[in-house]
Chain A
C-alpha cells in the first residue's frame, strides 16, 4: 500500500484476491472514495482516490479499510467453502423433499422417438443460445 499524489495505490495478487473481494472493499468505502481497478494476468492494481483531501494518516486508514474488507471477504469465502459438507448435510434433504424427481412422460415411454426428437431439439436450441452474444 503506497500513498501517491493524495491517493492510495495497492496491488492485490491473484488468485488469492478475486474481483468480488475488491468490490466488497469498494462497497465499504462508499461515497468517501472512488476506486479504480487495473488488471494483469497475476495482479489487480487498485487506486483509491478520496472524495476530499486527506492527511497521510487518514489516507492510510482509508486504504487499510479497503484492505481489511477485501481480506474479510476472501476469508469468509474460505470458511464457507470449508464448511460445505455441513451445508450439504442440511440442504440436501430439504432439496430432495422440495423437488421430487419429475415423473416420466408417458408419451416418451410409449414412443421412444418422441424423447429422441425432444433431446435433439433441446440440443439445437442450446447450441443457438451459446452462439448468441
Chain B
C-alpha cells in the first residue's frame, strides 16, 4: 500500500524494537516482523505525515528505547532486591508506621518561646564605628 514507511535492521533488540513501534502508535499504524536476528517495521501514517519523517522518528525512538531497556535490565536485580528488603522490613515492623517523636513538654515549649523572644529583642552587637552600615547609607548621612 502506498504511503507506508518500512524500516529494517539486521539485528534488533526485540523489546526495544516493539517499544519503539508502540511509541509511534499515536501517529501511525505499526506492523512488526522478525526474521532471524533482524527485524522490520512497516508504518502507515494516521495523518498526513511523510513516510520519511515517520521512518526517521522510528529510528530515533528505537535508539531511545534501546538505551531505556538496557538501563532497565541492568538495574532490575537491584530494584527487585531493594523491593524485597523493603517489604521484609515493613513486614518485620508489622506494617505499622513509625511511632511519632515524643511531644515537647509545656516547660520546653516555654523555654523555646523565651529564647525566640530574646533573639528577636536583641538588636545585635554594638557597632560604634558603623562598620556594618552600608556604604550608601553612610554617604547619605554626609
Q: Which residues of A approach B to under 8 Å, CB–CB? A: 1-3, 10, 12-13, 16, 60-61, 63-65, 67-68, 71-72, 74-75, 78-79, 82-83, 85-86, 88-90, 93
B contacts with A, residue count (CB < 8 A): 33
Additional 8 contacts, C-beta under 8 A, given A61-B29, A71-B22, A93-B91 = A13-B35, A16-B33, A71-B31, A78-B15, A79-B15, A82-B15, A85-B77, A86-B83
Are B30 and A86 closer than 8 Å at their CB atoms? no
A2, A12, A65: which contacts B1 (Cβ < 8 A)?
A2
Interface of chain B residues 20 through 77 with chain A (CB within 8 A): 21-22, 25, 28-35, 42, 44, 46, 69, 72-73, 76-77
In whole angstroms, how far apart are the Cα atoms of A86 and B79 in the complex? 7
Which residue on chain B has the smallest CB distance to residue A88?
A: B80
16 A–B pairs (Cβ distance < 8 Å), ordered by A: A1-B1, A1-B31, A3-B1, A16-B34, A60-B29, A64-B28, A65-B29, A67-B30, A68-B29, A68-B30, A78-B18, A82-B73, A85-B76, A85-B79, A86-B76, A86-B83
Q: List chain B residues, Cβ under 8 A from A1.
A: 1, 4, 29, 31, 42, 44
B22, B34, B77: which contacts A75 (Cβ < 8 A)?
B22
Q: List chain B residues, Cβ under 8 A from A93.
A: 84, 87-88, 91
Are B83 and A64 closer than 8 Å at their CB atoms? no
Which residue on chain A has the smallest CB distance to residue B35?
A: A13
Which residue on chain B has the smallest CB distance to residue A17?
A: B32
